[in-house]
Every structure is written in structure tokens, then in C-alpha cells.
């Protein structure tokens, strides 16, 4: 059992995960048996890595430290051989982040440990998606009837892709906004493009994406101030948002670019709430995967 | 509740911490509840980091690994946002070392987790100070009446600053020695400058500071051998020390510079004893902070 | 009590370790007391480091994280002072890998913590040796009468050195094969050189060594394909191996160089089995060292 993309989960699975995450929010129940987890982050992401590690420790899993920067993979070892090694030494579940799109295609069906995708290239990021779903569900208790606008660099965003698909499957209306050059033809089949100044007035959820300095040479197409003026949440725009609507962002926020500095922790911001939920959702994912795994083992035995 | 500088502690707090550290020296008592600690070291310091981690593990805390070198802070995230993230995912206490003087000013009053300062720029280093106090207290059972000389790069030393202040508050007589160009006007208000050859004869404690190759271009002002001849503890000088006086150093020692190689582990050296005490003192600090925190939580509840 | 080279172990010790490793393979028994381990890897080796860490965690040891890359040793601290520091803060057993041959000579007799050698320069690698012995013993239940051929870069291999000596002591016949320029005069006193095409037909165990790109400039003496044709296990050669003979490799394998890609996981390959055994053997080594240590402590007390 792996969780690689949101397609690995039925709508029922998703709701079950949100339910379990909600239980973990109330109180932590440790997993009885001794399981071993390893986190393989070939791209930097302290936030996601720390969150998974916290989830693992709260569950009572043993966590093997693994520094992908100094790993044998630097000696030319393939990802398959690295993962197979972890399997051989007794790792039950590996969380992997890797810069290559669908890195997991070379692993699926060939390894016995479970894989949770911590982000692949410009592809998928299911744990971020689930924590966003949890945050929205906590707020509105349903997805049907909600209008959610995803704003920013749609084309290069794992978050945009996973979220748009999952939200649509669960019945929400998804829209996109931001620089038109950053839109994505395939994703636009799932929702319309909407002018940002209109979006702030009609959305239940504004989901702002990080402008990735790493991918875009700022100054070429946009200056920071210009981006903020055109597509950032300014104090003026925040005032025009509907009364119960909320503001989300996967973080880290470029303060003063996507969102005005003073609005990052405003009343309708759920940005730090998202991080807190991230731990509970990841606990639910780990439990889900390990339970399926245990069930499969018993099947093999009988 | 934070411990950022020695000013955060009353004399009573200090003595209570030393008492608690002494108890931990006798036997380890685990903290009952599940607390989570993270160590954020933006400057290299294996010694202090390992010591805090050992203290956390001996207490039974969960320790989140955090590699500041690959952290999101590298993507331009502020220290505030990084710490806020750790708070959001459930960290109770963060130990932070940072190159910037008073980095904690941007955090105080804005975060709910507790911070223990593991060293800020050329400012403060309270855990080092407390372990030095513990080592002196074990030896002499009091501070009043003691003469303590701090020797070396007074101006750039966190250790000198914290120790001089705390020792004076506790009633000891503090003196400074070393190259006159490395003295510090503000600190000299707390004690006199004394010629090193005189200091070795009248001090109960010689507290040698590390010559920081990182900060001083050796060879410019001093050659190593020249420093040793002028301000280092040579075999000849050691013989002139009073019978019960002791030798301290925050380590790592530049053997043959501050202290002759063969004296690093001599009978009056407490250098490795200081490291051992460091774990007990840090356990006491962690317990102190977490207990105050717990007390505050209950206040909020009632 | 240290384990630095295979010479630190009698034949009885070795067999006892294999026996204990076999018990750990059946079920894990935790060590009752609270021990602290640290892994100091000054050379990259994710595989060995992860395996030791897994062994430590399965035993219930506390593991102190230690990043040798950012350690104080970078400030010029000696290995002795680093290890002495770990001892001072309470570490019971340190696993050390270091690029210098016999780095442990500067430590032996001077430190109280126990050292397990995780590999020194081109010298020794006892845990790899023991896991190889375990794998062979599992297969053939004895060493006497076995013919084992070690193939490849004999001269630069810690594995070759440790294994040849231990296997010979336990009664096996050891042979060497591979490029003649890579043979080693001293080791050849322990066994004959044999033509590789002959070796595949007469060996119970083919122990292939990694071609170390790090040490050899490929393309100078051998092209990869040429090495494979001359000294690699091809499909054709594998067919000529005796029916019950097995294939071993310390990994990571250069697929298509030492071994044809499709043979790495063939039926007679024990390569991933070796990794699994590595955890059990390291558990046995840790227990062995800690028990001797405990016995010595009690001797001191009485």
C-alpha cells in the first residue's frame, strides 16, 4: 500500500483520513507495534520533513535519520537500490520527496515497504492536499457548494494540481487566478480562470500559492511590488472578502508578495492552522498505510 | 517562559537550577508527559548541540531533528516564520543558536513555544554560564570570597560576558586578563584587568577562553607560540597556581595555545567535568522552562 | 571493550556473535538499561550508518545524532578530543568511520566509552565481515571445506582484508581474483590468485567487490564494459556456477560492472540478505560490547 497521488485514494478514503486526522487532533493514540519509518528528502523541505517526523514520533514510530545529501545515491546508486536497501534493513514506510516527476514509477510493484509521496517534481503532493482539505472541512464541514480560488503559479505547482482534482471530486467549485502566463491548459479543464479582484469577492477560500523564486527569475516578468499589486492580497482586497471566507497558503509565504505582511496572521488566515493540521493528516496517512500493509501481510499468511 | 540571557534568571533561579542539576547528576528522573524539543543551530556547534540533545533524551523528551543548513530559511524565510512553524507543528521548546546578536528580540512576546538561547552572536550563552557556575559550585560550595580570572578574548566572548555578570551577582570577585587589545570597556566595569603572571598566583579559578581562529587572523597580531608564551597556561605557570585552584575552559581547547597540551587533562583541570555538568545543567534548564510553561497553561485554563 | 579489527575477536567470540545475530533474526529482545550510542561517520556511508542506527533502535538504545560534516572537528579539534567530549556527555558506545587507517590507535587505552569500528581507511571493517560470515553460515552451516573467491579491487578493500583473515581462521579456503594489478602481496599469503573464469566454476561463494570510482579513474585502466567482460558476473558465467553456490557483494553494486543488472537479484544472490543480516550482526556487536563493558564496571566496583 502506497500513497503516491490523490488518485490512490477513493473519496471514502479521503473522508476517512480526514476523520482520523480529526481524532488525532483530539488526542494522540500510539500505534501498538514497532514500526520503522525513514524520510528521504532529496529536495530541501524542512517544513514537510519536520511535519512528517513529528507525525511519526507522535504515533510512536521509530524514525531512522537519513541524510539524502550525503547518501550513497551520491556515489551513483539508483533510487531503487537505495529504497531496496532501506527495505532490507527493516524500514516499513518511507516518505520520499524527489525532484523528478513521478519518481515512484520506478519503485511501484518492485518494493515491499510502503511509500508516501512527500512531493515529486512538479507533480503531486498528497499530504499537502489532505491538510488543505482538512482545514477547509473544519471550517465549512462540507465541500459541496464551496467556491475555492487557487491563485498564482498554477503551472508549476504540485499543490494546485492535487488540490484542484481532489476538491472537484469532492464537489467543490474550483477557480484559478494569477498571471495568465502561469496558467495550465490541463488544469483549466477543471475550473475557470477568474480575475483576481473579482475572485476575492466571491470565494469562500482563497488559496494563495508561493511565488517560487527558485523557478522564476523575479525582475524578468514581475517585480515583487508589481506582483503584490496585481495578484497579492492587500489590505484593501482583504476588506472585500466575504464575511466567513478564509485565506490559505502552503507556506513559506513571501511576505509582501502573495500576502501583505500584516495579513499573514489576520483573523481569516488559516496558514498556521494548516501546518498544525498537517501533523494530524500525516499521522492519519501513516496509520492508513501501515494498517493496509498489516492486513496484506495477514492475507499472505492465510 | 524563555531563558535567553542570565538576566532572565534571579539568583534564586540560578541556585535552584544548580540544585536540580546536582540531583540529575545523582540519578535521572524522566519528565512524565510527552514534550517535543527541536534544536535550531544556525551556527555550527556540535558540542552544545549534542549536549542539549543528550539532556533532552535523558529527560525523555522527543527530539525533532532539524538541519538548519538545509532549512527553508535558506529560501529566505525569516527566523520568526521558522519558529512559528515549529510551534504550529507542536514543538514545546526550541533551543536556538544564531550568529546574530539578540536574534531573540524578534521572537519574544510573539511565540508560544519556549526558547532556550544556545548562544547568540557575541552576546549571551546562558547554558555555558550555568555549567561553569555548577562546576565552580561543586568545587567550592559557594561563590562569595572566590577570585575568578577570565583570560583571553574578552571582547568577542559570549562566555566572558555571561559569566562575569552572573559570578559578580553571586558575590565572586571577577578579574580579566589576556591581550589588552582584546579587553572590553563595558566588561571592565565588572572587574579589573590583571597581569596574567600575577593572575595565576591569586585566582581560585582560571577560566581560559578559546582563541577563535574564526574571528582572528592568527599571524596578524599573534603567533600561536607567542600567544602561548604570553597568555597561555604553561607547565611553569601551572606550578605557581594556588593549591586548590582549578582550571576551566569552554572547549574546544587549542592545545598548545591557551593551555599546554599535557595540562588539558591535569589534576586541576575541570574541562571534561564542565562538559559532563553541561548535560545536567541543560536538563535542569529544560525542566525549569517546561514547568513554568505548564504552570502558565493552567493559569490560562482557570 | 572495543571491536576495532577482527583480531579483537576470538573464533569463539565470532561464533557467539553469529549465534546471537541469529537469535535477533528470530525476535528482538531489547536491552534493559538506558544506553547511549553515537555514530561518527567522517566518510559518507548511508548504508552502514543506517544499519547501525537501525540496530541501535531495535535494541532500544538512545541514539545521539552527530553530523561529522559540521562537527567541531572542522574547527581543528582532534578526533581524540571529539570522542572524549562524547564520553564526557555520557555516550556509552561510539561507532566510528574514518578515512584514516587505524584512526583508533590514537584512542585505544585513552577513552572509557566503547568503540566499534565502522571502517577505517583501507584497513578494517569488522561489521561487514561479520555480516558476510553470518550470510555464509546461514547457507552452509559451517566454514570448513568451503571455497570462497574474493573478486575485484583486493588491494584497496577493507572487506577483502577482514574477510580473508576471518574466513581462513574459521577453516575456509580463500582465493582471490580480478585484475592482477589490484592484487595485494600480503593478502596473497592467505590464498591463491585464480583466473576468474575458473573461479566461477569451483567456488561455493563468489564475493564480488565494488569497483570504487572514487579511487580509480575509470577509463584510465579499464572501461566499465571491459571490466564487466573480464571480471564481471555475466549471465553466461552465472550459468557455470555450481548448483548451490551463492553470490555476494557488499553493495552498492555498480550494476553492469561487477554484476550484470539482471543478476543482482537472481536466485543465488544474497546481496539484500547481507543487508538484512547486517542489522542483526550489528545488534549482536553492540550487545557484546555493552555487556563486556558492564562486566568491567562491576569488576571495578567489587
- Average model confidence (pLDDT) for chain C? 90
> Please, are residues B87 and B110 in contact by the beta-carbon 8 Å criterion?
no
At residue B27, the pLDDT reads 82
Chain A residues in contact with B64 by the CB 8 A cut-off are 50, 53-54, 57
Inter-chain residue contact A89 with C58, CB threshold 8 Å: no
Residue C128 is assigned to a ligand binding site: yes
Neighbours of chain A (3+ CB pairs under 8 A): B, C
> Is residue A217 predicted with pLDDT exceeding 60?
no
Is B158 labelled as part of a ligand binding site? yes
CB within 8 Å: B75 and A252: yes
C102 marked as part of a ligand binding site? no
C173 in the same domain as C263: yes
Average pLDDT over residues A288-300: 79
Which residues make beta-bridge pairs with A247? A206, A269
Closest CA to A62 of A34, A89, A90: A34
**Average pLDDT for A17-40:** 87
Closest by Cβ to B46, choosing from C34, C66, C90: C66
**Is A75 within 8 Å of C213 when comparing Cβ atoms?**
yes
Contact A252 B66 (CB under 8 A): no
Q: Does a structural domain hold residue B288?
A: yes
Mutate to test the interface with B, among C89, C91, C92 (most CBs of B within 10 A): C89
Do A16 and A85 belong to one domain? yes
C-alpha distance from C45 to closest chain A C-alpha (Å): 6
Instruction: State the pLDDT confidence band at B161, using cuts at 50, 70 and 90.
Output: confident
Chains that touch B (3 or more CB pairs under 8 A): A, C
Quick check: C248 and C146 in contact, CB under 8 A?
A: no
The answer to whether the CB atoms of A76 and C254 lie below 8 A apart is yes
| A1 assigned to some structural domain | no
Residues of C in contact with B47 (CB under 8 A): 72, 85
**B46 min Cα distance to partner chain C (Å):** 5
Mean pLDDT across B263-280: 97
Are C264 and C154 found together in one domain?
A: yes
Q: Is the pLDDT of residue A43 over 90?
A: no
Is the per-residue pLDDT at C23 higher than 60? yes
Please compute the mean of the pLDDT values over residues C13-38 and round it to a whole number: 87
Rounded Cα distance, B165 and B6, in Å: 8
In 3-state terms, what secondary structure has residue A51? helix
Indicate which of A69, A218, A252 best probes the interface with B, i.e. most B CBs within 10 Å of its own CB: A252
> pLDDT-derived band of residue B248, with 50, 70 and 90 as boundaries?
very high
More confident residue, C66 or A63: A63
Contact flag C76-B213 (C-beta cutoff 8 Å): yes
- Number of domains within chain C: 2
Find, in chain B, the residue whose alpha carbon is nearest to that of A272: B88
Tens digit of pLDDT for each residue in C112-137? Answer: 999 999 999 888 899 999 999 999 99
Same-domain check for residues B179 and B295: no
Same domain for A280 and A269, yes or no, is no
Query: pLDDT at residue C219 above 80?
Result: no
Residues of C in contact with A37 (CB under 8 A): none
The answer to whether the Cβ–Cβ distance between C90 and B276 falls below 8 Å is yes
User: Between B36, B65, B70, which is nearest A65 by CB?
Assistant: B65
Q: Give the closest residue to C74 by CA, choosing from B211, B70, B46.
A: B46
Interface touch B47/C72, C-beta < 8 Å: yes
Average pLDDT, stretch C214-218?
53
Compute the nearest-CA separation of A31 from chain C (Å).
Answer: 16
Cβ neighbours of B213 in C, within 8 Å:
75-76
pLDDT at C302 over 60: no
Instruction: Identify the residue among A26, A37, A39, A50 best suited for mutation to test binding to B, counting B beta carbons within 10 A and taking the highest.
Output: A50
Phi and psi at A259, nearest 5°, equal -140, 140
Sign of CA dihedral C41, C47, C53, C59: negative
What DSSP letter does each residue of B59-113 carry, written as one string?
Answer: HT-EEE---GGGSGGGGT--HHHHHHHHHHHT--EEEEEESSTTGGGGTTTT-SS
For residue B260, name the pLDDT band (cuts at 50, 70, 90). very high
Which uninterrupted H or E stretch holds A116?
strand A114-120
**pLDDT for position A150:** 97
Contact C241, C206 (CB under 8 A): yes
Chain B / chain C CB contacts < 8 angstroms: 67
Phi then psi for A119, rounded to 5 degrees? Answer: 125, 125
What's the 3-state SS for C2-19?
CECCHHHCCHHHHHHHHH
- For residues C33 and C254, which has the higher predicted lDDT (pLDDT)? C254
* Domain at A179, CATH number: 3.40.50.1370
Q: Tell me, what's the pLDDT at A265?
A: 97
> Per the domain annotation, does B1 fall within a domain?
no
Give the range among A41-45, B198-202, B240-244 with minimum mean pLDDT.
Answer: A41-45
Domain that holds residue B252: 126-271
The answer on A257 and A133 residing in a single domain is: yes
Q: Are residues A146 and A253 in the same domain?
A: yes
Q: Is the pLDDT of residue B236 over 60?
A: yes
Across the A/B interface, how many CB contacts are shorter than 8 Å?
A: 67
A206 pairs with which residues across the strands?
A: A149, A247
Same domain, yes or no, for C115 and C173? no
d(CA C233, CA A110): 23
- Asked whether the beta carbons of residue B46 and residue C71 sit closer than 8 angstroms, the reply is yes
pLDDT for residue C298: 63
pLDDT digits (tens, 9 = 90+) for B30-72: 776 789 999 999 987 888 999 999 999 999 999 998 877 665 5
- Beta carbons of A129 and A163 less than 8 angstroms apart: yes
Assess whether C100 and C141 both reside in one domain: no
Question: Is there a single domain that holds both residue A58 and residue A45?
Answer: yes
Q: Say if residue A206 is in the same domain as residue A269.
A: yes
Inter-residue contact B83 to B110 (CB < 8 Å): no
Q: Closest Cα partner for B127 from B166, B79, B92?
A: B166
Closest to C288 (Cα-Cα) out of C138, C114, C57, C167: C114
Interface contact flag, B275 C82, Cβ < 8 Å: no
Average pLDDT over residues A182-211: 94
For residue A70, the 8-state DSSP code is S
Q: Is the pLDDT at A300 greater than 60, yes or no?
A: no
User: According to the model, what pLDDT value does residue C72 have?
Assistant: 56
Looking at the structure, tell me whether residues C63 and C154 fall in a common domain. no
Coil vs helix vs strand at A28: coil
- Residue B248 located in a structural domain: yes
HEC profile of chain C: CCECCHHHCCHHHHHHHHHHHHHHHHCCCCCCCCCEEEEEECCCCHHHHHHHHHHHHHHCCEEECCCHHHCHHHHCCCHHHHHHHHHHCCCCEEEEEECCCCHHHHCCCCCCCEEEEEEECCCCCHHHHHHHHHHHHHHHCCCCCCEEEEECCCCCCHHHHHHHHHHHHCCCEEEEECCHHHCCCCHHHCCEECCHHHHHHHCCEEEECCCCCCCCCCCCCCCHHHHHHHHCECHHHHHCCCCCCEEECCCCCCECCCECHHHCCCCCECHHHHHHHHHHHHHHHHHHHHHHHHHHHHHHHC
C216 burial via Cβ count (<10 Å: 0-12, 13-18, 19+)? middle
pLDDT-derived band of residue C138, with 50, 70 and 90 as boundaries? Answer: very high
The C-alpha of C90 sits at a distance from chain B's nearest C-alpha, in angstroms, of 7
Residue A64 has its nearest CB partner, among C28, C53, C253, at: C53
Pairing of strands B62-64, A205-208: unpaired
Q: In which residue are the cell numbers 550489528 written?
A: C282
Check whether B75 is labelled as a binding-site residue. yes
Q: What is the pLDDT of residues A61-117, one digit of tens each?
A: 999 988 776 655 556 789 999 999 999 999 999 999 999 999 999 998 999 999 999
Has residue C1 been placed in a domain? Answer: no
- Which three cell numbers mark A128? 499537502
> Please, which residues bridge with residue C62 across strands?
C36
pLDDT in tens, A119-156: 998 888 999 999 999 999 999 999 999 999 999 999 88
CA gap A160, A146 in Å, rounded:
17
CB of B171 closer than 8 Å to CB of B302 = no
- Residue B261 Rama label (left phi>0; alpha psi -120 to 50; beta): alpha
Nearest CA to CA, how far is C65 from chain B (Å)?
Answer: 7
- Under a CB-based contact definition with an 8 Å cutoff, are residues C120 and C131 in contact? no
CA atoms of A259 and A235, how far apart (whole Å): 9
Residue A36 parent element (H or E) = strand A36-41
Q: Outline where chain B has alpha helix (H).
A: 11-26, 46-59, 79-89, 126-140, 158-169, 185-188, 196-202, 224-231, 235-239, 271-301
Q: Smallest CA–CA separation between C283 and chain B, in Å?
A: 21
Amino acid at each position: 500500500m502506497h500513497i503516491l497521488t490523490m488518485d490512490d485514494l477513493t473519496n471514502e478514503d479521503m473522508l476517512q483520513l480526514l476523520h482520523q486526522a480529526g481524532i488525532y487532533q483530539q488526542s494522540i493514540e500510539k500505534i501498538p507495534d514497532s514500526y520503522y519509518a525513514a524520510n528521504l528528502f532529496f529536495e530541501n523541505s524542512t517544513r514537510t520533513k519536520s511535519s512528517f517526523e513529528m507525525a511519526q514520533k507522535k504515533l510512536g514510530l521509530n524514525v531512522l535519520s537519513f541524510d539524502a545529501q550525503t547518501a550513497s545515491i551520491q556515489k551513483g546508486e539508483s533510487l531503487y537500490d537505495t529504497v531496496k536497501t532501506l527495505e532490507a534493513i527493516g524500514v516499513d514506510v518511507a516518505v520520499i520527496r524527489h525532484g523528478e516527476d513521478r519518481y515512484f514509477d520506478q519503485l511501484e510493484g518492485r518494493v515491499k515497504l510502503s511509500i508516501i509521496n512527500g512531493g515529486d517534481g512538479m507533480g503531486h503532493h498528497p499530504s499537502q492536499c489532505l491538510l488543505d482539505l482538512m482545514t477547509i472541512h473544519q471550517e465549512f464541514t462540507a465541500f459541496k457548494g464551496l467556491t475555492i480560488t487557487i491563485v498564482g503559479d498554477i503551472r508549476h505547482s504540485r499543490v494546485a494540481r492535487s488540490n484542484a482534482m481532489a476538491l472537484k471530486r469532492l464537489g467543490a467549485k474550483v477557480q484559478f487566478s494569477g498571471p495568465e502566463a502561469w496558467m495550465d491548459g490541463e488544469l483549466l479543464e477543471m475550473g475557470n480562470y477568474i480575475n483576481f479582484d473579482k475572485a476575492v469577492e466571491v470565494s469562500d477560500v482563497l488559496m494563495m500559492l508561493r511565488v517560487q523564486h527558485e523557478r522564476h527569475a523575479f525582475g524578468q516578468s514581475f517585480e515583487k511590488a508589481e506582483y503584490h499589486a496585481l495578484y497579492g492580497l492587500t489590505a484593501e482586497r482583504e476588506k472585500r472578502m466575504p464575511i466567513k471566507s478564509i485565506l490559505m497558503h502552503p507556506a513559506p509565504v513571501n511576505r509582501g508578495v502573495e500576502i501583505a505582511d500584516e495579513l499573514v496572521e489576520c483573523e481569516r488566515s488559516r496558514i498556521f492552522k494548516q501546518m498544525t493540521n498537517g501533523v494530524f493528516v500525516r499521522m492519519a496517512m501513516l496509520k492508513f498505510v501501515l494498517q493496509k500493509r498489516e492486513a496484506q501481510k495477514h492475507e499472505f499468511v492465510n
